[in-house]
Amino acid sequence: MEPATRKLLHSLTALADLGAEISSTHEFDEVMSASLHTMLGTLAMSRGAIARFSSRPLQLKVIAAKGNRILKGEKIVLGREEAEYLASCSRPVGLAEGNGLAGFTSRNGDLMKRLRAGSLAPAVARGELMGVILLSEKFNRESLTEQDLAIIAAIARHIGIAMYNHRLMVSLKRKAEENRRLYRGMRQMYQDTIRAFAAAIDLKDAYTSGHSDRVSRYSEAIAKEMGLTGTELEYIAVAGHLHDIGKIVVDRTIINNPRPLTEPEFLELNKHVTTGYEILSSIGHPWNEIAYMTKCHHERVDGRGYPQGLVGDQIPLGAKIVTLADSFDAMMTDRPYRSRLPLQQALGELQRNTGKQFAREVVLAFCRLLKKEISGEIRSRVLTMTVGRKFEREAVDSMLTSMLAAGDAGNQAMSC
């Protein structure tokens, strides 16, 4: 093979290797180090460095180096006019020539000496100076040929593009992190707003302080017990918080009425589910299901609920869960027309209304969770937070066992 052809082949292989290195997933420092070695090996040079340009402060900083006593991180002083001159150069510049770098070598004499720097190749991308490649003389001390200069310019362009892309990636990563931080902040604000709404709803009713918050926590815990995860779980927790939002427009005297409601009062109160749906569906809520869960939280699986009289699986699962959580909290707290029920009695109500008001699978999940809390199998106390410790543990446990057994039998009968 002719020497010229052999050299061209070596240079082309080097450019291919460089392309592969630049597009690799290696760390930027590694890519720069490999790029420098490729440049030096292509031209048989012993020393060199790649320095990144920064306009503020105006300087070059060594990010890859080969040769004795040259350290990464070393700073190189560069003037504004020199930077502009380099950005306009499409070819390597000899440091001994009378060009736009007259003061550069003398100002950075020590480093240039250690590098035995003979030339400097600007790494430019999109007309912008990204950095420079400082090169020693060739190992055999021969002068650079026209072909050598063309190869240096080609490799320097690759390195410039790699530096430009890296800067872009760093900037994108920074922006992505900033967006993540903003998103976390907005999410927190959103959750705080929902909690504030829930507190405002509950304030209308002297007896239901903290009701929406508890319904949210019960609903979330039951949903988790049923195997729901991620956003579904989150929807249900939010629906728990906002299920009574429609009560905002219901007259306070109706909500706090200690005597049985009249028919018109009852109808007025029942409107809160559709009002809540209208409120929530009219705002650009990210989770449309929540508005519908709110609308359905007084539906019954036997079809005798309101406002639509839906049956069984026509009711969204989230709404079925909120229905049970809502009723359980209502039974476990004092109301204007009655005192709170003992836990056993509340469980009895749930048992009696399984398959009527409440969905069987939700009652079973509730029982499993309550049993785990009472037995200490799990450390969290969600369902038992309002129950306290004053209940007949063995009797409740045995009741839960029989409800679970009946539920299992019911499930088997349904599957036959």
Partner 1 sequence: MRRIEIRSKLVENTAILYPGPYLNQLRGEAIENRCLELLSEGVRSVVINFEDTELINSIGVSILIGVIESIHESSGKLLLTNLSESNRELFDVLGLLSQVEIIESEEQALASFRGLTGAALC
DSSP 391: S
CA–CA gap between residue 96 and residue 58 (Å, rounded)? 23
- The distance of closest approach from Cβ of residue 2 to partner 1 in the complex, given in angstroms and rounded to an integer, is 10
Q: How far is the CB of 13 from partner 1 (least distance, A)?
A: 7
Residues 6+ positions from 15 with CB-CB distance below 8 Å: 154, 155, 158
Are 331 and 340 in contact by the 8 Å Cβ rule? The answer is: yes
| Least distance (Å) between residue 70 CB and partner 1 | 12
CA angle, 253 then 258 then 264, to 5°: 55
Residues in the chain: 416
**DSSP secondary structure letter of residue 72:** T
CA dist 98 to 93, 124, 137, 258, Å?
A: 10, 22, 18, 99
Q: Which is nearer to partner 1, 144 or 233 (CB)?
A: 144
Residue placing its CB nearer to partner 1 in the complex, 139 or 266: 139
Q: Calculate the alpha carbon distances from 112 to 49, 51, 58, 166, 188 in Å.
A: 10, 13, 19, 27, 55
Residue-by-residue DSSP string for 327-355: HHHHHHS-BTTBPPPPHHHHHHHHHHTBT
Least distance between partner 1 and beta carbon 23 (Å): 16
Give the binding site for partner 1 (CB under 8 A).
1, 3-4, 6-7, 10, 13-14, 17, 26, 30, 34, 36-46, 66, 68, 138-140, 142
Shortest distance (Å) from residue 68 CB to partner 1: 8
Nearer to partner 1, 1 or 416 (CB): 1
3-state secondary structure of 7: helix
Beta-bridge partner residues of 122: 132
Contact 237/219 with Cβ under 8 angstroms? yes
Which of 357, 119, 332 shows the shortest CA–CA distance to 218? Answer: 332
Which of 402, 395, 301 shows the shortest CA–CA distance to 354?
301
Nearer to partner 1, 38 or 323 (CB): 38
Contact yes or no for 33/119 (Cβ under 8 A): no
Considering the complex, what minimum distance in angstroms separates the CB of residue 52 from partner 1?
20
| Residue 189 half-sphere exposure toward CB, CA atoms < 13 A | 6
Q: Which is nearer to partner 1, 2 or 263 (CB)?
A: 2
CB of 165 to partner 1, least distance (A): 20
143 versus 282: smaller Cβ distance to partner 1: 143
Smallest gap, in angstroms, from Cβ of residue 72 to partner 1?
A: 16
Which of 70, 404 has the CB closer to partner 1?
A: 70
44 versus 168: smaller Cβ distance to partner 1 = 44
CB 133 to partner 1: min, Å: 13
Rounded CA-CA distance 243/334 in Å is 19
**Residue 5 or 282 having the CB closest to partner 1:** 5
The count of other CB atoms within 10 Å of the CB of residue 283 is 7
